[in-house]
Chains A and B, each alone.
Chain A
Amino acid sequence: MDAIRRYFRSPAAVIGLVLLLIVLVMAMSASWLYPREPLALAGRPLIWPFTNPRFLLGTDNSGRDIAAQIFYGARISLLIGGVATVIAIAIGILIGAFAGYYGGWVDNVLMRVTEAFQTLPNFVLLLVLVAVFGSTLTTVTIAVGVVSWPAPARLTRAEFLSLRNREFVQAGRTLGMRDIQLILGEILPNALPPVIVYASVIMAVAILLESALAFLRLSDPNVASWGNLIGLGRDVLRVQWYVSAIPGVAILVTVLAVSLVGQGLNDALNPRLKGR
């Protein structure tokens, strides 16, 4: 396909994809490389990295293997990023499609609701949700998804607004299609590319949101996540800075990879915008 060929023509996009694949392989190989529970005590606390061959990346302040936590943490970050993105995009497309297709009062009501969500800072809303519903992995993931939907909703609505009066949609209507057939079969496939590209931004932000929650020790403490590790490292930041720095680098690399892939997708799916 043309889009795939265009994607691989951009070096940045290929680097992003390779980085993302590395994180993915880390997540998949975690239980094979580190069969022991990552949150179990493994050795002396605060071993510096590259000093003990058993703990390549050292240990944290309670003596847990940092490398194992990084590998298991990749799972959590990708899981939260992926699921939260799917939730946000699904809600966004549903609301945006109805608002854009029907217009009028439907559009007015849905957009006022969207704006109400947008005026609240994401993170504050996330804190409220976690405070109310607790901080298990499931609630955190859903909460991150729920605070991220307004942007894709607006994007979908704008696409629907410009597409709904195109001649091919009118043609579908004269053929006797139902509204739902027009929305799903005719308009949505044409509205999707920019939304897919935006999904990468949501995924990157979702990973960061979870890390920020964990840094405040408000994420699920019973899973090995990068954010939790950063939060732990906070206590020993001035001397054993590596405890926070190593998961920080992991987050940086993952978010960078997702952004590069998103940019590459954008150039591949909207070739005319490139080179402007």
Chain B
Amino acid sequence: MSAPSDAILTLEGLGVRLPSGADRPYALSDVSLAIAANEILCVVGESGSGKSIMANAIMRLLPSGVSISAGRVMFEGRDLATATTTEMRSVRGAGIAMIFQEPMTALNPLRTIGDQIGEMFSIHTDLSNAAIRAKVHALLEDVRIPDPKGAARAYPHELSGGQRQRAMIAMALALDPRVLIADEPTTALDVTTQAQILTLIRDLQKRKKTAVLFITHDFGVVAEIADRVAVMQQGSVVEQSDAASILNDPQHPYTRQLIAAVPPLTSPPPRKLSDDVILTIDNVSKTYRTGGFLGRGTRVTPAVKDVSLKLPRGATLGIVGESGSGKSTLARCIVRLIDPDRGSIVLEGKDWAKMTREDVRRETRHIQMVFQDPFASLNPRRKAGDLVAQGPIVHGTPPAKAIADAKELFALVGLDPSAIDRFPHEFSGGQRQRIGLARALALRPEVLVADEAVSALDVSVQAQVLKLLAGLRQRLGLSIVFITHDLRVAAQICDLVAVMKDGEVVEQGLAGDVFGRPQHPYTRALLDSIPGGDFARRRDDKLLA
């Protein structure tokens, strides 16, 4: 074990008990870790591995019913596991600070950024108001927010996601804490913003010699930022070592499996594409108008601007872009959940953009959609089998036959056909996404629109679902429009790729060409921002050799 001798924060055999009725008795069992000054320790694990519970246990911010049952948390000669609430209050923020995944919900929407950062000083120090204001501005400069004075006066909703996360970091570092706990701080951010925030955390950590406990699920991020790595599975640390040896020479099978599941950047050799075009999107535009009265003061947001794309039969067209690029609006225009303003969407000779709602309802079986969120996209009050059988029943299939077909579809997407009587909450995230896929396939569509269909899944599950999708494409002759923000995923499954920025397609072509020889500067910036890009390239080279 490579535990440093100059550890600041030490976990010794930490155990956290879950309330009875949970899926396992302990959230953490016998976790021992140590973090030294001036190092970044990455804790990696999939959802449910207990990594966030660990962060909350250190801060003693566990949800009710969950409690520390064993072990010690040593910080500055004190055991935080048994410290009083008063003692903990002086540790939180001043000694150990924390940043969270979603900066929008972690900030108070009714107070200015400067006010909220200044609160750190007014709680823990006796500084005057003017001194606090000066400190806040210096901090905001430190985290390189453009226009720090303006940002201090701004409310959270007036900043972008990346700027909000910078403000959160400024707040966390206000009192020069010795330990910073970062719980998935870049997961909710776009890939280019993520790269900037990772650089920022790295720089500030070097300058202030803070110890950083960085929690993430993404091995790319680990490769980017970690000095040491601890891998967690089911509430235990299965392996910990310095970053280089974990990444290049993983010992535990679970670590190997996680690293192997990180999608490679290079796309597989191009498949032969059919000349027959099944879906033609021509000059489609959609503009949102909000607010205003009688045409005055209206805010106009062009979400999709003159997009033209072609999907060959049997191919997969990837639409990649960051949040706000209009890719989801485009997907919803294609299935007519949103009515496009202009342009045509021609499927099998019919222009979908000009059909009436009633026509769309009748023709909808030709084109189906798979949604992003495996929890929100299934009606919690219907059984899995009913969810899959619903579509055919609406279009006139007798219920008994539809349920029988649903069983076959369950088998097709790799689920147990006897599970059709269970409710959605009884399935895992990956299984739910398979149900969503089965539901879309039940109408035997020619075109499948997948909107971020694997984004909410753990990497290992993501790999399985992508494999399933590729297999189904082959077996059923499906043509797929695949929307994603993750270029690694797009490189895996797409034959063609279109890159969207601010509602426009800036580059499109064969996946190998776009990723291998990007022409547009934005595409290049996207590719460069992928965390752990160098590591992935080296690993892929090693695999090829």
B372 adjacent to A170 (CB under 8 Å): no
A178 to B393, CA, bound (A): 12
Residues from chain B with a CB closer than 8 A to the CB of A190 are 379-381
B377 adjacent to A175 (CB under 8 Å): no
A118 to B273, CA, bound (A): 64
Residue from the list A174, A178, A186, A189 in contact with B369, Cβ < 8 A: A174
| In the complex, A9 has a CB within 8 A of chain B | no
B345 to chain A, nearest CB (A): 14
Q: How large is the interface on A (under 10, 10 to 19, 20 to 34, 35 or more residues)?
A: 10 to 19
Name the CB-closest residue of A to B363.
A176
Q: A173-B337, A190-B381, A275-B64 are in contact. Are A167 and B376 (CB under 8 A)?
A: yes
Name the CB-closest residue of B to A170.
B337
Name the CB-closest residue of B to A276.
B64
B380 adjacent to A177 (CB under 8 Å): no
| In the complex, B371 has a CB within 8 A of chain A | yes
Residues from chain A with a CB closer than 8 A to the CB of B371 are 167, 170-171
Residues from chain A with a CB closer than 8 A to the CB of B364 are 174-176
Within 8 A of A (CB), among B424-442: 436, 439-440
| In the complex, B391 has a CB within 8 A of chain A | yes
Q: A175-B443, A181-B394 are in contact. Are A168 and B376 (CB under 8 A)?
A: yes
B377 adjacent to A178 (CB under 8 Å): no
A175 adjacent to B394 (CB under 8 Å): yes
A200 to B503, CA, bound (A): 50
Q: A170-B337, A275-B64 are in contact. Are A176 and B380 (CB under 8 A)?
A: no
Residues from chain A with a CB closer than 8 A to the CB of B439 are 171, 175
Name the CB-closest residue of A to B442.
A175
A171 adjacent to B380 (CB under 8 Å): no
| In the complex, B373 has a CB within 8 A of chain A | yes
Name the CB-closest residue of B to A181.
B394
A27 to chain B, nearest CB (A): 33
Q: A176-B394, A181-B394, A186-B379 are in contact. Are A171 and B436 (CB under 8 A)?
A: yes
Residues from chain A with a CB closer than 8 A to the CB of B440 are 174
A177 adjacent to B372 (CB under 8 Å): no
A175 adjacent to B376 (CB under 8 Å): no
Within 8 A of B (CB), among A160-175: 166-168, 170-175
Residues from chain B with a CB closer than 8 A to the CB of A181 are 394
Q: A167-B371, A189-B381, A190-B380 are in contact. Are A176 and B365 (CB under 8 A)?
A: yes
Q: A176-B361, A178-B361 are in contact. Are A171 and B394 (CB under 8 A)?
A: no
Residues from chain B with a CB closer than 8 A to the CB of A172 are 379, 390
A177 to B365, CA, bound (A): 11
Residues from chain A with a CB closer than 8 A to the CB of B376 are 166-168
A86 to chain B, nearest CB (A): 22
A179 to chain B, nearest CB (A): 9
| In the complex, B16 has a CB within 8 A of chain A | no
Residues from chain A with a CB closer than 8 A to the CB of B44 are none
| In the complex, B378 has a CB within 8 A of chain A | yes
A171 adjacent to B362 (CB under 8 Å): no
| In the complex, B508 has a CB within 8 A of chain A | no
Chain B 367-393, CB-CB to A under 8 Å as 1, else 0, gives 011011100111111000000001100
Residues from chain B with a CB closer than 8 A to the CB of A175 are 364, 368, 390-391, 394, 439, 443
Residues from chain B with a CB closer than 8 A to the CB of A168 are 376-379
A60 to chain B, nearest CB (A): 51
A-B contact count (CB 8 A): 57
Q: A178-B361, A189-B381 are in contact. Are A167 and B394 (CB under 8 A)?
A: no
Between A166, A172, A176, A178, the greatest number of chain B beta carbons within 10 A of the residue's beta carbon is seen for A176
B423 to chain A, nearest CB (A): 11
A166 to B436, CA, bound (A): 14
Residues from chain A with a CB closer than 8 A to the CB of B391 are 175-176
A186 to B390, CA, bound (A): 11
A240 to B439, CA, bound (A): 71
Residue from the list A166, A174, A186 in contact with B335, Cβ < 8 A: A174
B63 to chain A, nearest CB (A): 11
Residues from chain A with a CB closer than 8 A to the CB of B332 are 170
A168 to chain B, nearest CB (A): 4
B377 adjacent to A167 (CB under 8 Å): yes
Residues from chain A with a CB closer than 8 A to the CB of B467 are none
A169 to chain B, nearest CB (A): 8
Name the CB-closest residue of A to B376.
A167
Residues from chain B with a CB closer than 8 A to the CB of A189 are 379, 381
| In the complex, B395 has a CB within 8 A of chain A | yes
A181 to B439, CA, bound (A): 17
A173 to B338, CA, bound (A): 11
Residues from chain A with a CB closer than 8 A to the CB of B390 are 172, 175, 177
Chain B 339-363, CB-CB to A under 8 Å as 1, else 0, gives 0000000000000000000000110
Residues from chain B with a CB closer than 8 A to the CB of A173 are 337
Residue from the list B365, B369, B381, B395 in contact with A171, Cβ < 8 A: B369
A108 to chain B, nearest CB (A): 14
Name the CB-closest residue of A to B362.
A176
Name the CB-closest residue of B to A173.
B337
B64 adjacent to A174 (CB under 8 Å): no
Residues from chain B with a CB closer than 8 A to the CB of A167 are 371-373, 376-377
Name the CB-closest residue of B to A175.
B391
A189 to B372, CA, bound (A): 23
A168 to B394, CA, bound (A): 15
Residues from chain B with a CB closer than 8 A to the CB of A166 are 376
A172 to B379, CA, bound (A): 9
A170 to B439, CA, bound (A): 13
A176 adjacent to B369 (CB under 8 Å): no
B3 to chain A, nearest CB (A): 39
A173 to B377, CA, bound (A): 12
Residues from chain B with a CB closer than 8 A to the CB of A176 are 361-362, 364-365, 391, 394-395, 443
Chain A 145-169, CB-CB to B under 8 Å as 1, else 0, gives 0000000000000000000001110
Within 8 A of B (CB), among A255-271: none
A170 to B443, CA, bound (A): 16
A102 to chain B, nearest CB (A): 13
Name the CB-closest residue of A to B380.
A190
A175 to B378, CA, bound (A): 13
Residue from the list B337, B379, B381 in contact with A174, Cβ < 8 A: B337
A232 to chain B, nearest CB (A): 49
B445 to chain A, nearest CB (A): 10
Residues from chain A with a CB closer than 8 A to the CB of B381 are 189-190
Residues from chain A with a CB closer than 8 A to the CB of B361 are 176-178
Residues from chain A with a CB closer than 8 A to the CB of B64 are 275
Name the CB-closest residue of B to A192.
B381
A178 to B394, CA, bound (A): 9
B66 to chain A, nearest CB (A): 13
13 residue pairs A–B, Cβ–Cβ below 8 Å: A166-B376, A168-B377, A168-B378, A171-B369, A171-B371, A171-B377, A171-B439, A174-B337, A175-B368, A175-B391, A175-B439, A176-B362, A190-B380
CB-based closest 5 A-B pairs:
A167-B377, A175-B391, A176-B364, A167-B371, A168-B379
Additional A-B contact list (19), CB under 8 Å, known A168-B376, A176-B394, A190-B379:
A167-B372, A168-B379, A170-B377, A171-B377, A171-B436, A171-B439, A173-B337, A174-B337, A174-B369, A175-B390, A175-B394, A175-B443, A176-B362, A176-B364, A176-B395, A177-B361, A186-B379, A190-B381, A275-B64
